[in-house]
Structure 1
Amino acid sequence: MSNVVIDPVTRIEGHLRVEMHTKTLETSTGKWTVVDKAYCSGTMFRGIEIILKGRDPRDAWIITQRICGVCPAPHAEASMQAIEAAFDVKPTPLAILVRNILHGAYYIYDHIIHTYLLIGPELGVLAKYPPMVPPALGKEGIAKLNLGSSYAQALDIQRKANEIVAMWGGKFPHHQTEYPGGMAVKPTADKIAKTLSKMTEIWSWVANVMVRDFTKILEANERIGEAVSAILDVDFRGLQDLGASTGNFLSYGLFPDHENYDDWLSILYSPGYRKSALIQAGAWDGERKAFDLKKIEEYVKYSWYDNASGLHPSEEDLPKPNKEKSDAYSWLKAPRYDKKVYEVGPLARMINTFGMKWKIPITNPVTGEDFGYFEYEVQNPQGSVIDRVAARVAMTLLIANKMFDWLEEAKSYLGEKVTVKKDKVREREGFGLWEAPRGALLHYIKVRDYKIDRYQAVVPSTWNFSPRDDFGQAGAAEKALEGTWLPEMSVAEICDAIYPEKDIDLSPLGISKVVSWGEALTPALKQLGLARLNIEKVNGNEYNTTLALLVIRSFDPCIACAVHVLRC
């Protein structure tokens, strides 16, 4: 069969190539092309660990932010915690609160961006939901057809969340106000009031628009499942049967309790859960288990490195690139937990904290008005596209709720000490375990003669988009792509196959015509030069990779982070 290649994958950070080896699925309705095996390749080498060697340890958190322009804040925090562990210094309760506020706003920004701009277009098209389709017809399309209304609003709301990050971080991206042992910014009544004002608007949008939009996608999901089942003559429930991976989920925890930081630090030394944190740690493999730092190893059999394979991050040396290595196909390494493939990200966080059923209150934090709950039960225990989207929406609401608690707490700390200073150390090591929006983030620092001797960053997309390991196990995303349908149909044709009825009234645009969903999308796609959107040509055949891209984007890949100076 054919090998279908997407290179590069767009709407992500960094350079990702996905090669899909196909097979034929033969049913009563015909012969269909599906993915047999997938191979994910990070195609650019970067060397942040090399850059850090020999530098002052206190510089690491600033430099590692440059790993990524999308998620610099999590790298700063993971690095800061590694430095603090090496320096044996604990931040003050106020500093932890301020960090939570800064990173909470950052999280809201990032999850909105992903839900609407990165994966949202495919969701809006497949679910026949105009508000999440990009506003291809501009302001007129928004006003008259509701085309892209939520998409456009998301741009404005994420900007307001970013303004909060800049308020507490000095700027964004690459904030400047953290410091080992604390923060270089103090809360003031004015800063808290401005943050509350912005958060009030953000919370309202998340509760009333983001939750509603996801509900609409979920309602359309059954129709998608019925249509695909009929076309292929298979049992396909919907997006919960798209993108299933291993069912193993790893979380380091997120947003520590400022009054119980010892619980947060405990898993650096012994297995645990960080139960006092907003998001807890854990290693779910069908049941929740304590996270054990010692069980992490990185394998490089199929990676372009000559380093030893199967080492713990604290044992790894600087990367030794070798692009000519036999059988290797990626700059990403293959992290494994207890020698198994684990998925990381919002779904892993929610499952390890709340299990398979989530219930998040929707109560206006200013007026107290009760709107009930955001309730969700994981649709596929192996993970899926719809479950990963649900987890991002749930986390956005959860953090938006919590931001008001942190800001209220900060009021009681006005004038308190925000930083504990510590002299440099000659020789020590430390880990920072944090969660980037895309998943579990580890930074390790080894200090010798007051300088950085070794540094490692094991990042979310290294977990999710890893190549195969020494045991032949496919990475989480590689596994999730298996079985994905690659239709020989355009996007418009797929839409008309799912929604054949003619019920889109174009009269608001001055066109006296009622058309199908696919017909309505066609002129918008042509106007943008996207008539053959997501089509890959192989040996004279054309394969639509929209469903495969949904799987890939459900993990929110950040390959710039995953492979860490460009090598020519």
Structure 2
Amino acid sequence: MSTERIVVDPITRIEGHLRIEAEADENGFIKHASSAGTMVRGIETILKGRDPRDAWAFAQRICGVCTLVHGIASVRSVEDALDYPIPPNAQLIRNLMIGAQFVHDHVMHFYHLHALDWVDVVSALKADPKATAELAQSLSNYPRSSPGYFSDVQKRIKEFVESGQLGIFANGYWGHPAYRLPPEANLMAVAHYLDALAWQRDVAKLQAIFGGKNPHPNFLVGGAPSAISAGGAATAGMGGTALNDVGLSQVRDIIVQMQTFVDQVYVPDTLAIASFYKDWFQRGEGVGNFLTYGDFPDAGLDDVSSYLIPSGVILDRDLSTIHPLDLNDPEQIQEFVAHSWYDYSKGKEAGLHPYEGETNLHYTGPKPPYQHLDVDASYSWLKSPRWRGKPMEVGPLARVLMLYASGHEPTRELAGYALRTLDLPLEAMFSTMGRT
């Protein structure tokens, strides 16, 4: 049986430093695939010998897209080592910052990293702005959905295309038969792509109010970086730095703005686009194992039962059983380097808990430029984390499944609504489009 080796490098639907090598048979079906991290991060090495209270500032510089989360993980780890519970107000502030990051990240990923897999930008030039407005109005009451609005967006796209410089829309597969949206749906999606750019700029202000700036807001081991003063100078706009009633009112307005965009634009767009690609609800299933550490503690980080998103493990897509997770157990969480460009003092086949982790660089790969990697040997700058030796899927789908399996009613209601709208079974959630 003949096979074809396909290489995608870099993967542009994420931050970027990832390479995929896949083997496809004569029918185009992927039979084997490997992913390789192509950049040395080395944060562990950079942090050696530094004051642990400053670690968050270095840790979150590992990525400019997934801002905040590495900083939160860093200060939490130091507080855990010191057995230092943070004040309730600091916990509330952190939960607000994490929640805002979740919403911001989902919208940004869908529109600015992922949507162009489904949306043909150039096809939008064929759309009727009036018909596009009618389509958008049938999906939600988003106030910008007028023929004039879509006509203006179409003119902007036309200027890009006629200039020969597509800018942010360059290097797409425009016109490919795999695109299925009609021109009006494409124009609507591109318009909302541009709206989401302005929306995320406003949403980022929440991080700046609490953390001083975005990306990479400030953190403080033991609490929150912003002073709190109900009668102090106004935050964000008046030159003051204390968090007060004015700043909290602005936070409230930002949260309303976030929810409005999600309800009126993001969710309707996702369901509308998904309805044209329903076969992708049968593709792209991962290993079937899911893990979440849990988050949004209400009574402190040590009280796992107070988490809004529960901690646990789901195996083999079995939502009837949530296995307990202990992050401190060296038999549960381990990192392996058998196929990575690192060495362990205990040997390449050893698995180490992060508490005992080592970062000893040892590149044995080909000298650039090269066509393919030897995936039977070491081929990546990423380590391989495992739970009890099993590969796990983490992230948004894992969190939704954990909430669903634990009986969280709002999650069950929203997931049920999406599945009913698209006439799909629960198993569709394990797919490429299910993750979308």
TM superposition score category, shorter chain reference = 0.7 to 0.9
Match of 1:174 in 2: 216
Contact 1:359 1:374 in 2 (8 A): no
- In the alignment, the residues of structure 2 paired with residue 301 and residue 23 of structure 1 have an alpha-carbon distance, to the nearest angstrom, of 27
Q: For the structure 1 residues 288 and 183, does the alpha-carbon distance in structure 2 shift closer, same or farther, using more than 3 Å as the test? A: same
- In the alignment, the residues of structure 1 paired with residue 68 and residue 353 of structure 2 have an alpha-carbon distance, to the nearest angstrom, of 25
Contact 1:22 1:35 in 2 (8 A): yes
Contact 2:291 2:314 in 1 (8 A): yes
Match of 1:323 in 2: 364
- In the alignment, the residues of structure 2 paired with residue 157 and residue 194 of structure 1 have an alpha-carbon distance, to the nearest angstrom, of 15
Q: For the structure 1 residues 212 and 360, does the alpha-carbon distance in structure 2 shift closer, same or farther, using more than 3 Å as the test? A: farther
Consecutive unaligned residues of structure 2, counting only runs of 5 or more, are: 137-152, 160-182, 229-242, 367-375, 420-424
Q: For the structure 1 residues 44 and 159, does the alpha-carbon distance in structure 2 shift closer, same or farther, using more than 3 Å as the test? A: same
Q: Pick from 6, 9, 16 the counterpart of residue 7 of structure 1.
A: 9
Could you list the per-position Cα deviations for residues 204-227 of structure 1 after superposition, in whole angstroms to 9, with x for gaps in the alignment?
1111111111221232234xxxxx
Contact 2:208 2:217 in 1 (8 A): yes
Confirm whether residue 164 of structure 1 aligns to residue 206 of structure 2: yes
Q: Where in structure 2 are the equivalents of 1:405-554 lying within 5 Å?
A: none
- In the alignment, the residues of structure 2 paired with residue 356 and residue 125 of structure 1 have an alpha-carbon distance, to the nearest angstrom, of 39
Measured after TM superposition, the shift of residue 328 of structure 1 is 0.7
Tell me the secondary structure at the aligned position of residue 21 of structure 2: strand
Contact 1:4 1:20 in 2 (8 A): yes
Match of 1:55 in 2: 50
Measured after TM superposition, the shift of residue 105 of structure 1 is 1.6
- In the alignment, the residues of structure 2 paired with residue 372 and residue 47 of structure 1 have an alpha-carbon distance, to the nearest angstrom, of 40
Contact 1:244 1:380 in 2 (8 A): no
Match of 1:212 in 2: 268
Measured after TM superposition, the shift of residue 99 of structure 1 is 0.9
Contact 1:357 1:375 in 2 (8 A): no
Contact 2:271 2:418 in 1 (8 A): no
Confirm whether residue 79 of structure 1 aligns to residue 74 of structure 2: yes
- In the alignment, the residues of structure 2 paired with residue 191 and residue 385 of structure 1 have an alpha-carbon distance, to the nearest angstrom, of 39
Match of 2:156 in 1: 138
Could you list the per-position Cα deviations for residues 110-153 of structure 1 after superposition, in whole angstroms to 9, with x for gaps in the alignment?
11100111111112349x99889xx7862669999546111111
TM-score using structure 1 length: 0.56
- In the alignment, the residues of structure 2 paired with residue 192 and residue 140 of structure 1 have an alpha-carbon distance, to the nearest angstrom, of 42
Contact 1:243 1:384 in 2 (8 A): yes
Confirm whether residue 201 of structure 1 aligns to residue 219 of structure 2: no
Confirm whether residue 36 of structure 1 aligns to residue 38 of structure 2: no
- In the alignment, the residues of structure 2 paired with residue 13 and residue 136 of structure 1 have an alpha-carbon distance, to the nearest angstrom, of 28
Q: Which moved more, 1:315-324 or 1:55-64?
A: 315-324
| Matched AA of 2:116 | P
Confirm whether residue 275 of structure 1 aligns to residue 317 of structure 2: no
| Matched AA of 1:98 | I
Measured after TM superposition, the shift of residue 239 of structure 1 is 1.2
More strand by share: 1
- In the alignment, the residues of structure 2 paired with residue 386 and residue 314 of structure 1 have an alpha-carbon distance, to the nearest angstrom, of 36
TM-score using structure 2 length: 0.72
Contact 1:246 1:383 in 2 (8 A): no
Match of 1:332 in 2: 382
Q: Which moved more, 1:339-348 or 1:150-159?
A: 150-159
Measured after TM superposition, the shift of residue 88 of structure 1 is 2.0
Measured after TM superposition, the shift of residue 91 of structure 1 is 0.4
- In the alignment, the residues of structure 2 paired with residue 303 and residue 188 of structure 1 have an alpha-carbon distance, to the nearest angstrom, of 49
Q: For the structure 1 residues 314 and 356, does the alpha-carbon distance in structure 2 shift closer, same or farther, using more than 3 Å as the test? A: closer
Measured after TM superposition, the shift of residue 169 of structure 1 is 0.9
Q: Which moved more, 1:329-338 or 1:380-389?
A: 380-389
Consecutive unaligned residues of structure 1, counting only runs of 5 or more, are: 25-31, 223-237, 267-273, 362-370, 390-568
Match of 1:296 in 2: 333
Match of 2:427 in 1: 380
| Count of residue pairs brought into register by the alignment | 345
| Matched AA of 1:190 | V
Match of 2:398 in 1: 348
| Matched AA of 1:75 | H
Match of 1:398 in 2: none
Match of 1:471 in 2: none
- The percentage of counterpart residues that share the same residue type is 35
Q: For the structure 1 residues 65 and 214, does the alpha-carbon distance in structure 2 shift closer, same or farther, using more than 3 Å as the test? A: same
- In the alignment, the residues of structure 1 paired with residue 47 and residue 258 of structure 2 have an alpha-carbon distance, to the nearest angstrom, of 37
Tell me the secondary structure at the aligned position of residue 119 of structure 2: helix
Could you list the per-position Cα deviations for residues 221-257 of structure 1 after superposition, in whole angstroms to 9, with x for gaps in the alignment?
34xxxxxxxxxxxxxxx11111111110000012111
| Matched AA of 2:191 | S
Could you list the per-position Cα deviations for residues 479-511 of structure 1 after superposition, in whole angstroms to 9, with x for gaps in the alignment?
xxxxxxxxxxxxxxxxxxxxxxxxxxxxxxxxx
Structure 1 runs (4+) greater than 3 angstroms displaced: 128-132, 139-147, 356-361, 371-374, 376-379
- In the alignment, the residues of structure 2 paired with residue 93 and residue 320 of structure 1 have an alpha-carbon distance, to the nearest angstrom, of 41
Contact 1:96 1:182 in 2 (8 A): yes
Tell me the secondary structure at the aligned position of residue 19 of structure 2: strand
- In the alignment, the residues of structure 2 paired with residue 380 and residue 201 of structure 1 have an alpha-carbon distance, to the nearest angstrom, of 32
- In the alignment, the residues of structure 2 paired with residue 85 and residue 199 of structure 1 have an alpha-carbon distance, to the nearest angstrom, of 30
Measured after TM superposition, the shift of residue 374 of structure 1 is 7.1
CA RMSD of aligned residues (A): 3.1
